[in-house]
Structure 1
Amino acid sequence: MKTLCAGFTIGVLAEAAGVGVETIRFYQRKGLLPEPERPRSSIRRYSDDDLARVRFIKSAQRLGFSLDEVGELLKLEDGAHCDEARSLAERKLGDVRVRLADLRNIEAVLSQLVTRCGSSHGAVTCPLIASLQGRP
């Protein structure tokens, strides 16, 4: 992958990071990405470090970290706080396991309802719709 030279525009930063310009601005408003100084009568320029930071944010989000959690991780990004990072990851893993259990329960209920829908014929009320309406 081609490395960008220091001093590129917000549009180039966004494209290189695979996000939109508004995402960059949003990260700045949330305090996740510093806003570079604007030289007099010029536009702001971003660095390779800014690009790495946006990529870090997106990678953490893909693992399910919220932006608040990403902010916590960014405070640890020097790599010297592995125990703290591990603690954050353990909490996230616990959350993921809870969500997986919830999804398995949803899958089981939907599977039963789909089966019941397939076995009802004629003018019988649809079991799925009846269930969602709170009827037996």
Structure 2
Amino acid sequence: MKIGELSKATGTNVETIRYYERIGLLPPPPRTSGNYRSYGLSERQRLSFIRHSRDLGFTIEDIRSLLDLSDHPDRDCQAGDLIASRQLAQVEAKIFQLTALRDELSRIIGRCRGGLSIDCRVIAALAKHELCDGDHRSDC
């Protein structure tokens, strides 16, 4: 299949496919006599693996390591477990941070009584962090 067909089959932008080739996540495909890229089932499966990994928030370097592990099925999967566990910890930390942000925004909005902007509780809380209940700074 050509790059456009691979793009449609995997829901991946053509430029993203080319990028993955440039950085070595996808091997350069063979070319047709007309110099078109020619992708097969293995490239489609590899790209689907990359897409799914990106959807789960893995970094390019993590994906590179996971692909290397996948390319060597006789190796111990401990490295894969460590990468996934680290990603889970990062997701849980983001959830904690987002929960704190949601709670603080709800509290700020709940204190709003309408009226003029000079008396606006939202603006006051944004201007003076000490009016907030806790530390909700984003590390994301």
TM-score surpassing 0.5?
Answer: yes
| Partner AA of 2:86 in structure 1 | R
Q: Does 1:67 align with 2:41?
A: no
Consecutive unaligned residues of structure 1, counting only runs of 5 or more, are 1-7
Q: Does 1:24 align with 2:17?
A: yes
Structure-2 residue corresponding to 1:130: 124
Aligned pair count reads 127
Pairwise CA RMSD: 1.8
Q: 1:30, 1:134 → 2: CA distance?
A: 45
Which TM-score applies when normalising by structure 1?
0.83
Structure-1 residue corresponding to 2:78: 83
Q: 1:108, 1:30 → 2: CA distance?
A: 41
| Partner AA of 2:93 in structure 1 | V
Structure-1 residue corresponding to 2:3: 10
Q: Does 1:99 align with 2:94?
A: yes
Q: 1:82, 1:131 → 2: CA distance?
A: 49
Q: 1:127, 1:121 → 2: CA distance?
A: 9
Q: Runs ≥4 in structure 1, deviation > 4 angstroms?
A: none
Q: Does 1:115 align with 2:110?
A: yes
Query: Which has the higher mean CA deviation after the structures are superposed, 107-116 or 40-49?
Result: 40-49
Structure-2 residue corresponding to 1:37: 30
Consecutive unaligned residues of structure 2, counting only runs of 5 or more, are 132-140
Q: 1:96, 1:71 → 2: CA distance?
A: 20
